[in-house]
Amino acid sequence: MPILAVTGAKGGVGSTAMVAGLAGAWSRHGKAVLALDLCRQNLLRLHFGLDWHERDGWYARLAAGQDWTDAAWRTSERLGFVPHGQLPREWVGLVYALDDTHWLADELASLALSGDCRVLLDTPLHGRERVQALTAANHVLVVLPPEPLSCGLIEELEAELLSYGIRPDRLLYTLNRFDPVRQLDRDVELLLREMLAERLAPLPIHRDEAVREALAMRQQVADYAPQSQACDDYLQLATWLSIRIEAGAKPR
């Protein structure tokens, strides 16, 4: 079962939107997808149309001692997602299940999802949830901003990811919010392509106002602006990831 952790190279580069976009694109390609929000800010739910005041989620269920899978939502026949859920500040850290780094990996394995179902993990930058996600994942997609600092961040990030035992050819990268009109963006892409070669997605995700507007409307981009460049880019990225995942499924 392919488990893809999506993480930003730094904060605020659009990795949550990337999870929503990829989940939509894969389900449009006819693949079964489960998206899990592991970020404490609990924002993925907005991309799937949940209300701001909706506080339920796997974390909240765990804290209340309930079965966390009851917090899952089904947005279409093939697409399910689990919000993080919100707890009062003082409750954070009281969920002892997460102390076992393999908790998520075991839980996902015990779910008995079908073999070709894809799991997307919206991975935070810090905390126990990050450890859980990277321990469970067998593929990682790193979202890079089109800035020169991306080139600098990669080295350390890669060392961290490799320490979780993820195969180097399964560490994949994509540029997000890429604006070809700006010289800097173009130069950064050139540099990154040199550094990462095959592991950088062949097409970047363009900076497209439709993504922000879709979130403002609490819709997926594919529903809000199906003819936008960003929607097209997510589809292309999803296709590329499918190919990489299927190629990487063969043991080396």
Which residues of this protein are in contact with another protein, per CB under 8 A?
178-181, 185-186, 189-190, 193, 202-204, 206-210, 225, 227-230, 232
User: How many whole angstroms separate alpha carbon 163 and alpha carbon 157?
Assistant: 10
Min separation Cβ 205 and another protein, Å: 10
Tokens 């989620």 appear where? 57
Which pair of tokens denotes residue 153? 């961040």
Min separation Cβ 235 and another protein, Å: 10
| Residue 223 neighbours by CB under 8 Å, 6+ apart | 24, 214
**Residue 203 CB burial class (10 angstroms; 0-12, 13-18, ≥19):** middle
Min separation Cβ 200 and another protein, Å: 8
CB 123 within 8 A of CB 133: yes
Min separation Cβ 245 and another protein, Å: 21
User: How many whole angstroms separate alpha carbon 131 and alpha carbon 4?
Assistant: 14
Min separation Cβ 168 and another protein, Å: 21
Our CB check for another protein shows the closer of 93 and 202 to be: 202
User: How many whole angstroms separate alpha carbon 175 and alpha carbon 23?
Assistant: 17
User: Coil, strand, or helix at residue 44?
Assistant: helix
Our CB check for another protein shows the closer of 57 and 204 to be: 204
Our CB check for another protein shows the closer of 38 and 144 to be: 144
Q: Is 17 left (phi over 0), alpha (psi -120 to 50) or beta?
A: alpha
Strand pairing class (33-37; 79-82): parallel
Min separation Cβ 206 and another protein, Å: 5
User: How many whole angstroms separate alpha carbon 145 and alpha carbon 12?
Assistant: 9
Our CB check for another protein shows the closer of 121 and 235 to be: 235
Our CB check for another protein shows the closer of 107 and 213 to be: 213
